[in-house]
Structure 1
Amino acid sequence: MPEREPAPVFRKAPSRARNALSAVLLVLACLLLPLGVLASWAVHGPADTGRYVRTMAPLASDPDVRDAVADALGDGVLREAGPELGTGALHGATGDFVQDAARSFTRTEAFRTAWDAANGAAHAAVLRALREDGPRAVPATVDLAPVIDRVKRRLAHDHVPFAHRIPVTHTRVQVLPAEDVDRLRKGYLVLDTAAFWLPLAAAVLAAAGIAVAACRRRAVTALGLGTALGGGLLVLAVAAGRHLTLAGLPDPLHRPAAGAVYDALTATLRTVSWLLLALGLAVALGAWLTGRCGPRLAARRRARGSAGPVADPAPEPTRVPA
């Protein structure tokens, strides 16, 4: 009797296991990628003094920011000179004069110089407090003498009367209390570590997920969609953070200025988030189109190869006249 052929064995279990492992790896990669982008932005974006000053410099020309700074300057002057001004009409007239003078100052080149110097000094002081190792946290303070000196030289260059008589005093202003330094230092160290390891881990997991998958084209499509989803979530997180930040301000009059500062600081993060969204969709679309068009093109090539060369038709015989 003829021997029966063995029944075919379908190996579904290994493929299912590989797909399940690939899905887990790709999900982890898509989760770590936006977190890594956020940590890298926090460490290499606002945490760099030079980049921070360049980011904040255009805000010196923003009307909302200038009005907020003018109000703060005017209130500070009136608070220091309050006992000497007394109350009543004299105090009101002096207050209007001080506020007008502060608004006029915010439209000068000296204000832009002071704005850059103050931002750079405050940012450097905060970073120094966060990065220094010590037994106990110390408050971040700024010495206003370099700022006042730069403003004084700028006013003297503009031939402002009595600018050379402005005293340059070493006055230290606290920009970050000691009780906040310890908490922020721990968070900064975590972000510094995460900024290096999270993107690296996301890349390794993504490569492993594609390599393990039974159908790598589908894995690439899933990775692209997951990357796009992570970018979209980052965009929503930046928008939600803006809303919560502005809603938590006690003075609603300064919310436009705070919104301008928030938008300037998160501009790079928003750009990277949109790039992740666009790149993920492009990769997913490319992988999907390859899966749709690839088999058809291969079938057409096989059909053309199996048909063989077509023979040329035989020439018709020519008739010779009798």
Structure 2
Amino acid sequence: MSELDALRERVVALERENDELRTPKRRRIRGRSVIGAVLLVLAVVLAPVAAMGTWARLQLVETESFVATFAPLASDPDVQDFVAEQVSAAIDEQVDVSAVVGEVFDGIRSLGLPPRADTALTLLEGPAADGAISLIDGVVHDVVRSEQFADIWTQSLRFTHDRATAILQNAPGTAVQLSDDGAVTIELGVVIERVKQAMSERGIGLADVIPEIDRSIPIAQADSLALVRTVYQVADIGGFWLPWLVVALVVAGVLLMRDRPRAVLWSSAAIALVFLLLSAGLGIGRGVFLRAVSPEIMSAAAATALFEQLTSLLAGTIAAIALIGVLAAMWAWLAGSSRAAAGFRGLVDSGFSAVRGAAERRGLTTGAFGRGIDRFRGPIFIAAVVVVTVLLIASRPVSFGSVIGAGVGLLVVAVLVELLRRPSEPKEMDVDPSADAATSTAQDPVSAPDAVS
């Protein structure tokens, strides 16, 4: 084959390549991309379930988390008023204060007092009974607002939760049984005993006539013990493993997709949207809860304090995960191929290049270490993301502050990598004049025959 024929074949091949580049290829949907999309959809669907499961597990399984959630209620004024009203009502049901005061006055009358003194006693009997009732009510409120009541409240919460979990776990040798209807209660008997003790310390003799009262305040109710046990077991297992499953689905789904930044962008935005909707649903649930328990069971103020304290951890987790979705979507957009993202990356890269250049001109360089960082900067950032993700999940519940801290930490890592890395200089390749001339000739098919001839 002559040199002219070889050159002509080369020109035809180049033209064919140019045609292929100009002709848009029809994208084929690969099977692995379909599987990746399915995994990402599953992750988005399971993400709120994992968050709810983690919250339920912390409340149902871990006693200290349960106590930490409900213990602050002892210092809430609305809850204190509710408990004080319940204690006073329990005492009124067991002790007829007016009758006790009347017996005292009858004993005084039996001493044979003058008529005017007897009339005065009759006038004083009603106010004395009212004063005794007010005195008891004041002592009750003082006790409920004291630090001793907060300790009693905490001890009752811990005892109640330990008793419930012992039954739900089928612990052998459990002495105290949970009620068959699944009721979880706060016992008022301990509080009433403390009220009697306080009355005795103040010299109020009515404390001796208050009997032992067995009364409780229900704080949770399930349809049946079997249902409670089932929920407990599901929360125990699912609350621990579901978050790890969601993370695994996201990682696998992104790795299987062809356009990974776009996959991260859409899946993160979907997760953020789902958790924003979940936050709205939490607000709707608050209204439903208030209508269900007030005013028949407790006042609206006490019910509001109870719901907000119960869901504060969940609300914080929802906001934190929504923030994670927003931050991940922003990162995916910046890593995408859009013109705005490419321009932003170019601007940032030129800024860091200027900083590195200024440092090198003053003798500050990272040398071989910087070249190593430049070579492995992608794996370094991926490793940082993995470490932060593991720490967030391991230190559950995820909070808004922890997410902000994780984002700031990743930003610091990225800045340090850009400042420390030292991009390698492009090597100048030796150019063969004959090859360069052939290449120039091949790129100009119009003048190729003339040049050869």
Q: Which amino acid aligns with 2:279?
A: V
What do you get for the CA RMSD once the two structures are aligned?
A: 4.5
Partner of 2:118: none
Preserved CA contact (<8 Å) 2:43 2:247: yes
Preserved CA contact (<8 Å) 1:125 1:142? no
Alignment-derived partner of residue 396 in structure 2: none
Native 8 Å contact 1:228 1:280 kept in 2 = yes
> CA 1:248–1:170 in structure 2 vs 1: closer, same or farther (change >3 Å)?
closer
Q: Hey, what's the Cα distance between the residues in 2 that align with 1:66 and 1:183?
A: 31
Q: Residue 294 of structure 1 aligns to which amino acid in structure 2?
A: A
Which of the residues 342, 366, 374 maps onto 1:294?
342
Q: CA deviation at 1:137?
A: 7.7
CA, structure 1 residues 179+208, in 2 after alignment: closer, same or farther (shift >3 Å)?
closer
Q: Quick check: 1:110 aligned with 2:154?
A: no
Query: In structure 1, how many angstroms separate the alpha carbons of the residues matched to 2:153 and 2:332?
Result: 50
CA distance 1:244–1:89, change in 2 (3 Å): farther
> What's the counterpart of residue 68 of structure 1?
82
Partner of 1:311: none
The amino acid that maps onto 1:258 is: A
Q: How far apart are 1:19 and its partner, in Å?
A: 4.0
Residue 93 and residue 257 in structure 1: after superposition, are their counterparts in 2 closer, same or farther (change >3 A)?
same
Partners of 2:193 and 2:93 in 1: CA distance: 24
Q: Which amino acid aligns with 1:223?
A: S
1:20 is displaced (CA, Å) by 3.6
1:255 to 288, 300, 303: 300
CA distance in 1 between partners of 2:96 and 2:208 (Å): 23
List aligned pairs for 1:165-244, cutoff 5 A: 180-244=224-288
CA–CA separation in structure 2 for the residues paired with 1:53 and 1:150:
22
CA distance in 1, matches of 2:231, 2:71: 27
Q: Superposition pairs for residues 47-196 of structure 1, below 5 Å?
A: 47-82=61-96, 85=99, 95-132=133-170, 139=180, 147=190, 151=194, 180-196=224-240
> Higher relative CO (CA 8 A, sep ≥ 6), structure 1 or 2?
1
Query: How far is 1:73 from its partner?
Result: 0.5
- Whole-Å separation in 2 of the counterparts to 1:99 and 1:150: 14
- Paired with 2:26 and 2:98, the residues of 1 have a C-alpha distance of 92
1:276 aligns with 2:290: no
* CA displacement at 1:280 relative to structure 2: 0.7
- The sequence identity of aligned pairs, in percent, is 25
Cα contact 1:67–1:103 (8 A) shared by 2:
yes
Shift of 1:191: 1.9
Give the TM-score, by structure 2 length: 0.55
Distance 2:165 2:140 in 1: 30
Distance 1:277 1:41, change over 3 A: same
**Out of 28, 39, 47, which is 2:53 matched to?**
39
Instruction: Specify the code of the residue in structure 1 equivalent to 2:271.
Output: T
How far apart are residue 181 of structure 1 and its match? Answer: 1.7
Pair 1:274–1:206, CA change in 2 (3 A): same
Change (3 A) 1:269 1:284: same
CA change 1:168–1:213 in 2 (3 A) is farther
Between the aligned partners of 1:190 and 1:166, the Cα distance in structure 2 is 48
Q: How far apart are the structure 2 equivalents of 1:172 and 1:141?
A: 13
Stretches of structure 1 that go unaligned for 5 or more consecutive residues are 309-322
- 2-structure distance, mates of 1:199, 1:124: 26
Q: Is the 8 A contact 1:57 1:115 kept in 2?
A: yes
- Number of residue-to-residue matches in the alignment: 303
Cα 1:52–1:182, aligned 2, differ >3 Å: closer, same or farther? Answer: same
What SS does structure 2 have at the residue aligned with 1:266?
helix
Q: 1:97 to 1:148 in 2, by over 3 A?
A: closer
TM-score (norm 1): 0.74
Q: Please state how far the C-alpha of 1:206 moved relative to its aligned partner.
A: 0.7
Task: Pick which of 264-273 and 112-121 moved more.
Answer: 112-121
> Structure 2 vs 1, CA of residues 25 and 102 (structure 1 numbering), >3 Å: closer, same or farther?
same
TM-aligned CA deviation for residue 213 of structure 1: 0.8
